[in-house]
Amino acid sequence: MYRNRIIPCLLLKDERLVKTIKFKDPNYIGDPLNAVRIFNDKEADELFFIDISASKRGSINFDLLKKISSQSFMPLCYAGGIKCLNDAKKIFSIGFEKISLNTIVLKKPDLVTEISKIYGSQSVLVTIDVKKNFFGKYYVYNHLKKKITKYDPVDFARKMEVLGAGELVVNCIDNDGVMKGYNLKLINEISKAVKIPIVGLGGAGSLKDLEDVVKAGASAAGAGSLFIYYGPHKAVLINYPSED
């Protein structure tokens, strides 16, 4: 029986796992390899690693990705600092099944097509970071420049599908780490506008939130804090829901 995927999304910064709130104040939460081993034991559907320092650093930590891949029994996706076809080639050769492009597609949208033609659209995701402006309208956000772009997220999603993306991650910055639910309205609008799968990300705080985002049109529920923190005081305890 088909079940929608539940995906832990883990942030990397200088070989350490961190968690942010609204893309700010990264808080150290542990060792990425230890997290992989725990999620192996808990039989997570897949893992999504996002290196939030790679673009600023100007390089991808391939050595760390090799270690992660060697420890993982789950499908892996990586995002962060991917600038060209060769970067994607190295990541796939290490053992990651998927990559996700983000800021680079604002400057080089054809990279989506270039990689998907060689490795298949199922291997190429595009993460759309979305932020609300002063007037309450949502736009695609450039996290490298820390500024809102001119792009409407629904139109941008359609464009990425045409270019060859096989999946879209819709990440609402205003909901990141808050644990009060996803931006269901936006996810629903994008899911209706495209035919490819959508991963909802940003805001999950309960199992009901995971259910709600699937009902809103997402094919998968992505979450960070929900699988890292436990209890009202947010103690670091890696967890994952049982099949039940």
The pLDDT of residue 2 is: 64
Q: Which long-range contacts (CB under 8 A, 24 or more apart) does 58-66 make?
A: 60/87, 60/90, 60/91, 61/12, 61/15, 62/90, 62/91, 62/94, 64/12, 64/15, 64/32, 65/91, 65/94, 65/96, 66/94, 66/95
For residue 243, tell me if it sits in a domain: no
Collapsed DSSP state (helix, strand, coil) of residue 149: coil
Helix boundaries (H) for the chain = 32-41, 54-57, 62-71, 85-94, 104-107, 110-119, 153-163, 184-193, 207-215, 225-228
Collapsed DSSP state (helix, strand, coil) of residue 89: helix
Q: How far apart are CA 52 and CA 5, in angstroms?
A: 23
- 35 falls in which pLDDT band (50, 70, 90)? very high
Locate 173 and state its tokens.
Answer: 């910055």
Q: How far apart are CA 98 and CA 78, in angstroms?
A: 7
Q: How far apart are CA 193 and CA 213, in angstroms?
A: 16
pLDDT tens per residue, range 105-159 = 999 999 999 999 999 999 999 999 999 998 999 999 998 889 999 999 999 999 9
For residue 15, tell me if it sits in a domain: yes
Q: Report the CATH number at residue 135.
A: 3.20.20.70
Q: Is the pLDDT of residue 183 over 90?
A: yes
For residue 244, tell me if it sits in a domain: no
Q: How far apart are CA 159 and CA 164, in angstroms?
A: 9
Q: How far apart are CA 13 and CA 145, in angstroms?
A: 18
For residue 242, tell me if it sits in a domain: no
The verdict on pTM exceeding 0.85 is: yes
Q: Is the pLDDT of residue 43 over 70?
A: yes
Q: Of 64, 113, 110, 129, whose CA–CA distance to 90 is shortest?
A: 64
Q: How far apart are CA 126 and CA 84, in angstroms?
A: 14
Give the chain's mean pLDDT. 95
For residue 241, tell me if it sits in a domain: no
Q: Is the pLDDT of residue 1 over 70?
A: no
For residue 121, tell me if it sits in a domain: yes
Residues noted as catalytic:
129
For residue 207, give its domain range. Answer: 5-236
Count of structural domains within the chain = 1
Q: Which of 29-38, 136-145, 227-236 shows the lowest per-residue confidence on average (mean pLDDT)? A: 227-236
For residue 67, tell me if it sits in a domain: yes
Strands 124-132, 98-101: parallel, antiparallel or unpaired by DSSP?
A: parallel
For residue 102, tell me if it sits in a domain: yes
146-173 in b/e form (b: 16+ CB < 10 A) is: eebeebebbebbebbbebbbbbbbbbbb
- Percent of the residues in the chain that have a pLDDT greater than 70, as a whole number: 99
Paired strand residues for 99: 78, 124
